[in-house]
Structure formats: structure tokens, C-alpha cells
Amino acid sequence: STLGMADQWYNNQCHDYLRTRSQATATSYGAGFIVVFMNVFFTWLMDRAGVFEKHQSLDKMEESNMVRLFLLKFVNSGCIVLLYGQKWLQQIVRIRFEDAADFNEDWYATGGTSLMIVMMMNIFAPHIGSFVACFRHRAKIR
């Protein structure tokens, strides 16, 4: 039979494993939240910057913002997660990850999971502001 989370915590043999696994999971989710927060920040920043650029039309401003946002979010969401395992990049920034550089089983357990977390959060993050505005509006009506 398998042990529950509380039983694993009080079992000396499982305690270190559970703590390490919990820290790794929390770090992975934390990194995902940071990436999503940066994407939301980029959207806000590009919207603010677009107002100052004196575009001839609203369509031109939106087009300019979308191109820059696409590039920023692509680098932030995809490239960084995929590049962090590259040896040449690790030498440039002088850090070393003990992770697989190729797309093998180990990568899917670490880098692939992080990439999926970021993508799932990026689905919901743009809609949070609309939900908050809706709930505030409903609270005012009552």
C-alpha cells in the first residue's frame, strides 16, 4: 500500500524525499508564476508605451504592440525555458544546471513540466483582470 502525505512526512525514510520533492515542485510553480507575471507586465508596459508613440491610427498602435508583445512573450515563455539547458548558455552566464540538455525522459520531468505550467498559466492570466472587474461590478449592483 502507499503512504499518505502525512505518513510520509513522519516517516524518517520518506521525510527528506518529500521535502526535496516539495521544494522542487514549489520552485517549478514559482518560476512559472514569475514568467506569467512578466508576460502580464510586458502587456501593460507595451500598452502604456503605445500611447506615447504617436501612431496615425489605433490599428497601427495595436499592430505595433502585438509585434513587440509577441517577441517579448516568445523569448520569456519559450526560449528561456528551452535554452536554460544549453551548455554554451550556461558558460556565458556562469551557472550550471544538472539537467539533461537533450529532450529525453529527464528533460520532460523538469523542463517540460515547467514549460507546460507556464503555458497553462498563460491561458488564464489574461482573463484575470476581466474576472476581477466582473466581480467588482456585481458587488456594486448588490
Q: What is the DSSP string of the chain?
A: -PPPHHHHHHSHHHHHHHHHHHHHHHHHHHHHHHHHHHHHHHHHHHHHHHHTT--SSHHHHHHHHHHHHHHHHIIIIIIHHHHTT-HHHHHHHT----S-SSSSHHHHHTHHHHHHHHHHHHHHGGGHHHHHHHHHHHHHH-
The predicted model gives 21-26 an average pLDDT of 78
The answer to which of 60-69, 109-118, 132-141 has the lowest mean pLDDT is 109-118
Judge whether residue 132 has pLDDT over 70: yes
Question: Which pLDDT value is given to residue 36?
Answer: 80
Q: 11: alpha, beta or left, given left = phi > 0 and alpha = psi -120 to 50? A: beta
pLDDT of amino acid 98: 62
- What pLDDT, on a 0 to 100 scale, did the predictor assign at position 93? 67
Q: Which residue has the higher pLDDT, 14 or 50?
A: 50
CA pair distance 74, 87, nearest whole angstrom: 21
Q: What pLDDT digit, counting tens, does each position of 51-105 carry?
A: 888 888 889 888 888 898 888 888 877 666 666 666 776 677 666 666 555 667 7
Q: From CA 105, how far away is CA 91, in angstroms rounded?
A: 24
Q: Average the pLDDT over 15-20 and give the result.
A: 76
Q: What is the pTM of this model?
A: 0.60
* pLDDT the model gives residue 135: 92
Q: CB count, 10 Å around CB of 13? A: 8
**Average pLDDT score over residue span 105-130:** 76
pLDDT, residue 1, reads 44
